[in-house]
Amino acid sequence: MSDRAPDENAKPRAIVAGHGDFAQGLVSAVDVITGRGHQLIPVAVPGLCAEDIEKLIRERMQESGVKVIFTDLQAGSCTMAARRILRGADDAVLIAGVNLPTLLDFVFADRMPAIDAARHSAERGRVAITVVGAAGGVKQA
């Protein structure tokens, strides 16, 4: 995490969960680039069964009060767990397939409600993938 002092009023706004050190790595990158990594709670799930993954993410949400979950892979265990948690909930959102541009947009959209910011950032992340080279020019994926 950054050695810059975070805004005292700044609270976590989202959970980032995924395989291996994916979450910690992304949050670290966000913090290096923006100093706003404190908005994100990284969650790793090594060696946990599906029920314990769900329990861990649920506990992190309850502790922090966040209503936004970013996960890495549509088919991933964290995504499955998040979908179970969000079942029937209309005050929370899951963004699966998160990338760094998504999170950068999210942490800067801190004047928006977190759920709206998450939806906005998902669109920004989706169009941020570009292909450069072989086919010529620069294309959005």
Partner 1 sequence: MTLVLHRIDDRLIHGQVVVGWGQPLDIRFIILVDDEVAASEWEQELYRMGVPPEMDVYFLSVNKAISELPRYRADARHGILLTGDIDTMRRLVDAGGITSINLGGIHHRTGRTQRLRYVFLNGDEETALREIATLGVAISAQDVPGARPIPLDDILAGVAS
Summarize as ranges the residues that interact with partner 1 (CB under 8 A): 19, 46-50, 52, 73-77, 79-80, 83-84, 87
Three-state DSSP class for residue 36: coil
The residue (of 46 and 136) whose beta carbon lies closer to partner 1 is 46
Strand ranges, E, within 1-141: 14-18, 40-44, 68-71, 93-96, 130-132, 138-140
The residue (of 104 and 122) whose beta carbon lies closer to partner 1 is 122
Q: How far is the CB of 98 from partner 1 (least distance, A)?
A: 14
CA distances from 92 to 30, 47, 73, 87, 127 (A): 22, 26, 18, 10, 23
The residue (of 77 and 121) whose beta carbon lies closer to partner 1 is 77
Q: How many angstroms separate the CA atoms of 56 and 77, rounded?
A: 12
Read off the amino acid at residue 76.
G
Q: How far is the CB of 136 from partner 1 (least distance, A)?
A: 28
Q: How far is the CB of 118 from partner 1 (least distance, A)?
A: 19
The residue (of 70 and 114) whose beta carbon lies closer to partner 1 is 70
Q: How many angstroms separate the CA atoms of 133 and 53, rounded?
A: 40
Q: How far is the CB of 20 from partner 1 (least distance, A)?
A: 10
